[in-house]
Each structure stands twice: as C-alpha cells, then as structure tokens.
Structure 1
Amino acid sequence: MILDSRREFLKRLPAAALFVAAPSLALYPLHGSAATAGFQIHDIDWFDDVRERAVPIRLYQPSEATATTPVPLIIFSHGIGGSRLGYSYLGRYWASHGLASLHVQHVGSDRSFWFGNPFNLVSRLQEAAQVKEAVNRVYDLRFALTRLLNDQLGQTLRSNQIIAAGHSYGANTTLLASGARVSQDNIPVDLSDARITAAIVISAPRFFGQNAVNSILQPVSLPTLHITATEDNIRIPGYFSGYPDRLDIFKAIGSKRKALAVFEGGSHSMFTDRSLTGGAVLNQQVKEATQELSLDFIAQVLNNQESGMSTWAIRHEAILSKVIS
C-alpha cells in the first residue's frame, strides 16, 4: 500500500486503532545498574580477545526482565562518530515498553573519530568507512550478542526474538548483519546472523565504495522497516549521501515484507539524540513518531499483529511525505 501524506488520500485509509499493549512494569533495581522508572541501564566494557578490540555496550533492560518472563531484544548500532550513550530516546522508550535494547559502541568509528588533527578528518572518515571497519562493526554486534546471551543478564531475554536496528552507518551495519553482502577483494562477504529476525533501518546511506546496490541488498530477506526524511542528507567532509540513496536502498532490499516512512523536511541527525537539528518542534514530533512506528513494527514481527501503520500515518500526516507498506 502506498500512501500520500495529503489529507484527501489518508481519509481513505481504514480507521482501525493502532494499539500495542505495553507490559505493566515495576522497578526491581539490580546491583551495579542505574535505575529509572520502568527500566534499568547497564554500562559494561567488554573486550573481544580474538580481535583485540574493545566492545563497550549499554543495555536498557525493562524491569519486567528481572521477573520471570523473558523479553525480546533489540540490538542497536550507532552512526559514525557515535557511542553507546546515543539514541537514548529509542533505548528508553523500548525498555519502558517491555523490550531490552542493547546499544553497541564501535571503537573503530565511534566518537573518538571527531578528536585529533582536524586536517586529518577526511582521511579518518575514509578509513572508518572501509570494508574492514564495516565488517568489524558486524563482528561487534555478533560478539556483544553472544556475550550478552551467555551472561546472567541474558537469562532475561528471548534468544529467538532479536531485532537489529541502526542509524546511518549503523543502518549499514544492521543490513550487513541481516544478509546484505559487500565485496572484499572482489569476493562477496556474507555476515548475516541467523539470530536476527527483522531489521529497523534508519537513514541508511549507500555502502562506501560499493556500487552494486541491488546485488548487495537483494540477499536481505528479513522483514525491514525503513525510516528517513526528505532532507535526510549526510554531509561529512569528503562524503555526501542524499535522501534519494535511502529510497534506492529501500527499493533494492530483497525482503517481501518491507515498509518505508518518509518525514517531510528534517535532517539526517534529527534521528540522533540531538534535540534542535531539523527544527526543535519537528525534531520532537519525528522522534515520537519513530518510537511509535518502531514499536508497531516490532509487534507485527514478534507477535504476528496486524500493522497499524495506516492509522499511524493518519495521526502523523502533518509531518509525513510518504509511506509505503
């Protein structure tokens, strides 16, 4: 179904209410964790001895997870220059609705990227965007996921209900973990993780140095939700990726079950924790709409619930440009 954001088209949509039941969450503080209403936050510094690479993580854990019922898990990958502390508006929201959220920090392309000689910024960007780092990012996710599931905290999780999510470079990481195949030395690399059941792709750019979009993304068969905006343009010294790239990636995805939401205006970084970029009012509206839509998608995938995207589009029509489901 393709929906235009204009009111006359949206009026034709069914008026079934979008409702995703959130579990009743109580607070059960854990030792060594930061507690807030309805969920816990755990910051852990892991180290992958095989790759000699640090893998810091932040886990948002619903308080329900300290009881007897295991909960689904979202594993999140940040954009270039980010960290495990970012995208907290998503981690907190998901955890407050009964979903654990594991935010992984990629040390080869994290916030340390912005420090150092400013004249070397372009070369640092190019190095961080190479296939080697793209592959390491997926291994970060795989290592963190395995480590968590083998940890005591993992006993509170449903290992068969894992969704990957990411923004910008993290969206590329998510796609690679979901079946996308880039080439390294002219050899396709399969990094798919069979534990992942679906993917949330926010502002995915084209893969750096990889031109065959269709062949890269056709192997992705998992359900995918794509989120972007008409002014979702990536401008970093020496690199540009425009909004049309997000559409090309959505079209090239091999998944039979995929959906796209495009907000009107905005910016690329409004999907981060930054509160003013894209306009202070629109920024908050987009964040809230993204939270709701992601939760609806997760409910569809994990609980076989009917999509509430059409009603969601009616509610948020003022800030939408396009919806495809």
Structure 2
Amino acid sequence: MLVGGFAAGVATRTIRPVEAAAEDVRIADLDWVDARRDRWVPARLYWPPPGATAGPIPLIVFSHGLGQSRMGYSHLGRHWAANGFASLHVQHVGSDGSVWAGNPFEILDRVNGAADEREAIARAADMSFALDCILDQGSAFAASIDRARIVAAGHSYGANTTLLVGGARVVRDGRILDRRDTRFKAGIVVSAPPFYGERDLHAVLAAVAMPTFHVTATEDVIALPGRRSPVQDRLDVYEAVGTTRKALAVFQGGSHSIFTDRALTGGVRLNPQVKRATAEGALAFLDLAFRGDPGPLASWSETWRPILAVTPTAYPVAAPSRPPSRRDRPRS
C-alpha cells in the first residue's frame, strides 16, 4: 500500500496493455474528517502509474452503492487509473457496509435510515468535501490534477449521488435543495434508482447540465427490503436528465450487482465482460465529453455490440477547444 508523495506527473510513457499497466497503479487510503459536519469521510485513491498520461491528470470521484465502501469497485478504479485517470472512491459512513451489520431483524430500519433524504444530501456533501481535500493546496496530489476534467461517477445509490452533485434538485417546504458542484464537468451514472418519493422525475433532473453516460442492463432489478425498482426506472432517469449531452448503454442480461466487485452475479462469462466494458465505455464517453471525439465511443459500441441490448449514440459536438488526447493513455 502506497500513501501520499507520488503525485508528480510524467510527460511521456510507453503504451502497454491495461493488464500490465494496472499492476503499477498506486493506491492510497485517505481518512478525512469534515469538522463542520462532524462526519468521517474515508476514501481510496487509485493513482495512474508513472508515464500513464502526459500533463495534468483528470480525476474521477466515485460514489458507492448502498452497503458498499471505499474498498469496492476496484475493477473500475484500477482500470481508470491504468488509463491515466485518477479515481477517488469515497465511502459514505451513513450508508456503507454498516447497513448489513447488527441485528438482522432491524435491517429494514437500517436500510430506511441509509436511504433517508438527509443521508442522500450528506452523500453529495461527502463528494464535494472529498474533492475539497484532494484539491487543497496542502494535498500531495492537487498540483497534478486537471481541474477542467473532474468527473462524478457512481453505482446505484451512488448514481443518485452523482446526479445530485450534477444538479438534480428537489423542493421541500417551498425551498430548493440543491447540492450541485460545478467543479464536476461530467458524470458516469451506473444503475441509477428512481428518486424515491418524487412524483415528477423530470422536475428533479431537468437542471442536470453536465454530460452524462448512463449504464444499465436488461436484468438490472433492485430488490432491497421495502424497495423494488425495475430496469425501466434506469431508463426513465436517462430520459429525464435535462442535458442533451448524454448517452445510454444497456447490456443484455446482467444484474444490478454485476457492476460491483461480485464475481458471479449475472453469469460467470458475462460478469467480467460487463465490468470491463463499463470501465472502457466510461473513458470512451469522456473522450466525447472532453475532446469532442465520438470515435472511441463508436469503436467501443462496435467492440461490445454482442452483449449490448442498447448501443449508445454519440451526441452532436462542436469542435473541441482543447487537445488532450486519449492517445496519451494506454489502451486495452
């Protein structure tokens, strides 16, 4: 385990397969406390290997699903870091693995507490606070991060969190609850549940303006104590997001937990395919969002067409204003 002090950027590198590059991905566990909220915000950082990218390093801030932790979704963190994106996995202490611990007869109460609106807002605040910390001038990583390419990402409950920092909002007692953080320039939305209790999804998501890549599967059904959500909810979230700069990928088969670290759910053969395709598809979409280049997403769609029920279509783009090229990152 490596900790701080490895943030220096490298100007050149040799392109190599992700499997080889991932071995050199550097990992740091970071334990922060938000004193203002008296809340612990732990995180795990996956940092690109030396030479993985030229110039400033883009950053993905990842939010886990209900009952997960900073240790989860390692396949995404390692893949993204191996391809030149730092990946910061935030743990939300009010809705992490503690949900499953304790008296089994009280699990419904713990799930309801974790899914409470106050925790949903606290999770969005965790994302912003973690970003504050990693970008702080005292951070060993701040000088190397490209602030024009900061991405919010998440699975399940974390997908809702991603949409909240991207501009989703609700009205309570005549007051708008808005946790938008404009430092996030794009979003990766994996298996987003509905915003439970909200009748007008379009009103909640209309203000989401950042480019968003949505990922789900035809068997992506959420079944939690007291909560069940069919795959149609994922499609409805995609349709309701206000921006036209969005794309949707739907895998054939799969499951809701196929996107987690579980190795068997969704099928022994399909599971690793969906994991790799999701990791690669996110980066292909970010080429579109940040470079205006639809080519990588089109190539990705063709490569993974055999397991896709819905193939993402690139939205129209203007000529890019800045040149950072994915050719500066190793390809799988």
With the shorter chain as reference, the TM-score category is 0.7 to 0.9
The alignment partner of 2:92 has SS state of: coil
| Pairing of 1:119-130 with structure 2 (within 5 A) | 119-130=105-116
Q: Distance in 2 between matches of 1:197 and 1:222?
A: 6
Q: Distance in 2 between matches of 1:80 and 1:25?
A: 38
TM-score, normalised via structure 2 length: 0.85
2:93 aligned partner, one-letter code: V
Contact 2:22–2:82 under 8 Å retained in 1: no
Indicate how the Cα distance of structure 1 residues 324 and 284 shifts in structure 2: closer, same or farther if over 3 A, else same: same
- 2:117 corresponds, among 125, 131, 146, to 131
1:169 and 2:169 aligned: no
Contact 2:301–2:312 under 8 Å retained in 1: no
> RMSD in angstroms over aligned alpha carbons?
1.9
Q: Distance in 1 between matches of 2:59 and 2:51?
A: 11
Structure 1 residue 237: deviation in Å?
1.1
- 1:246 corresponds, among 211, 234, 246, to 234
Q: Distance in 2 between matches of 1:148 and 1:169?
A: 23
Q: Look up the match of 2:94.
A: 108
The alignment partner of 2:242 has SS state of: coil
Indicate how the Cα distance of structure 1 residues 307 and 179 shifts in structure 2: closer, same or farther if over 3 A, else same: farther
Structure 1 residue 145: deviation in Å?
0.3
Indicate how the Cα distance of structure 1 residues 186 and 229 shifts in structure 2: closer, same or farther if over 3 A, else same: farther
Q: Distance in 2 between matches of 1:307 and 1:167?
A: 25
| Pairing of 1:53-92 with structure 2 (within 5 A) | 53-64=39-50, 69-92=55-78
Structure 1 residue 288: deviation in Å?
1.4
Structure 1 residue 36: deviation in Å?
6.5
Indicate how the Cα distance of structure 1 residues 185 and 114 shifts in structure 2: closer, same or farther if over 3 A, else same: farther
Contact 2:53–2:83 under 8 Å retained in 1: no
The alignment partner of 2:182 has SS state of: coil
The alignment partner of 1:260 has SS state of: strand
Contact 1:25–1:38 under 8 Å retained in 2: no
1:160 aligned partner, one-letter code: A
The alignment partner of 2:141 has SS state of: helix
Structure 1 residue 312: deviation in Å?
2.1
Unaligned runs of 5+ in 1: 1-22, 27-34
Structure 1 residue 87: deviation in Å?
0.5
Indicate how the Cα distance of structure 1 residues 221 and 251 shifts in structure 2: closer, same or farther if over 3 A, else same: same
1:97 aligned partner, one-letter code: N
Q: Look up the match of 2:28.
A: 42
Q: Look up the match of 1:257.
A: 245
1:214 and 2:216 aligned: no
- 1:270 corresponds, among 258, 265, 269, to 258
Q: Cα deviations across residues 183-206 of structure 1 (Å, max 9, x unaligned)?
A: 344532111001010100000000
Q: Look up the match of 2:132.
A: 146
Structure 1 residue 284: deviation in Å?
0.8
Unaligned runs of 5+ in 2: 1-11, 16-20, 314-332
2:149 aligned partner, one-letter code: Q
1:313 and 2:298 aligned: no
Identity %: 49
- 1:181 corresponds, among 169, 172, 190, to 169
The alignment partner of 2:269 has SS state of: helix
The alignment partner of 1:308 has SS state of: helix
Q: Which has the higher contact order (CA 8 A, sep 6+)?
A: 1
2:200 aligned partner, one-letter code: A
Q: Distance in 2 between matches of 1:117 and 1:301?
A: 46
1:202 and 2:202 aligned: no
1:304 and 2:304 aligned: no
1:260 aligned partner, one-letter code: L
1:227 and 2:215 aligned: yes
Contact 1:230–1:321 under 8 Å retained in 2: yes
Greater share of strand: 1
1:147 aligned partner, one-letter code: C
Q: Look up the match of 1:18.
A: none
**Structure 1 moving runs of 4+ over 6 Å:** 65-68
- 1:155 corresponds, among 137, 143, 149, to 143
Structure 1 residue 209: deviation in Å?
2.0
Contact 1:129–1:208 under 8 Å retained in 2: no
Q: Cα deviations across residues 18-68 of structure 1 (Å, max 9, x unaligned)?
A: xxxxx7369xxxxxxxx9733210001111100000000000011348998
Aligned residue pairs, count: 295
Contact 2:73–2:261 under 8 Å retained in 1: yes
Q: Look up the match of 1:291.
A: 279
1:226 aligned partner, one-letter code: H
